Structure 1
Amino acid sequence: MKKSLLLVVSLLAIASLLAVAAYTTAQVNSDAEFTIVNTDEALLALIPSEVHNAAFLSGGSNAQTLKIDWDKGFHNEDFGIQPNSTYQWDNLFTVRNNSENDVHVKIYLDPDYTDTTLNVFYANARVATRWQNIAGEPLEFDLGAGEETAISTKLTSGDGMAMKAKTVKFKMIVEATAIGGSIAE
């Protein structure tokens, strides 16, 4: 009996060691893929307005990205804005959520640019008091799966703003994070 009990205990100890030490690394191969597309066809799509020259797709034969150039005007020529003025572009571009998830969207500038006030709003919050200055704070909103909203911009140059010999450049960044649950609920 002692021998059989000792044998059973030994086998259990060896089996538990084998279970713990079955492997320390593993590699499993699975197919994966993605396609580089123009920004207006992406999961987080940025679609330029068809009525404003200030927003357009740029990139030539490479995948095209949204470019915003508020200097663009008649015949797509560059003009600019003068000091102590305000210009507004309604529905300059659209943000579309082509993912299967509801997302929280943030639009902000990098680097923050404070010499000129840049206010933005999204279409379903168009109330005069809803313009949001995004110099320092992002514009934030939620989009359900398959939803889109138009983004409008308003530039106000200050009274003491000096003319620049070169173009002021910054990035307008649009980022989206999946949110739990459905915003339609």
Structure 2
Amino acid sequence: MDETDTRQHPAGAFDLEFVGSRTSVTIDYSRALTGISTIDDTTKKLSETLSDTMARVEIVPEWAPSVYGTAVHVDFAAQVRRQGLRGIEVEQSFFDLKPGGYGQFGSVRTDVLLRNDVGDIIAIYDVKTGGAALTPSRVRELREKTNVGMGVPIIELQVIRGATIKSRRVRMRNIGRVMALLWNPVHRGSVSRAVGA
């Protein structure tokens, strides 16, 4: 999985093909771009990292959707930690408006958050699998427990599994796609999911 071939599509979507493995993942972060380079670059990197997770974590028919979701979250979190990205915190719990213990009763845990150089949260990322999606109440809970305002984007990273593609030359397995979606009323014109957040 070290070598990849990227085919660009318009406006922030592309196919990431894993050379030699006959698999591909379509990544679309076009509906999560904020115009803030630090956030947008992180969104792109996290989307690509999640596509790597999709290539690694197979669906086992006997697994309940929640088991697959847990496997994706664990692999993704480990990859992001290994990357050592500037300003990134993985699986940080919050209780009473400040960081709390992992899994502490009454706390909320973020999948990934991005801080600026002075330590302020500037974006929150939430990974969803199996058709799950962020809800307005979850977005409110994330904002309240992390003590961020409406100007801080909450970005859903959605894993959507795919099927097998057959062509004349190659039989390629399309693992699926990663969609990044912005929940931020400040950018309401760019994303439909912002409604009701």
Do they fold alike, i.e. is TM over 0.5?
A: no
Name the structure with the higher helix share: 2
TM-score normalised by structure 2 residue count: 0.24
Structure ID, larger Rg: 1
TM-score normalised by structure 1 residue count: 0.25
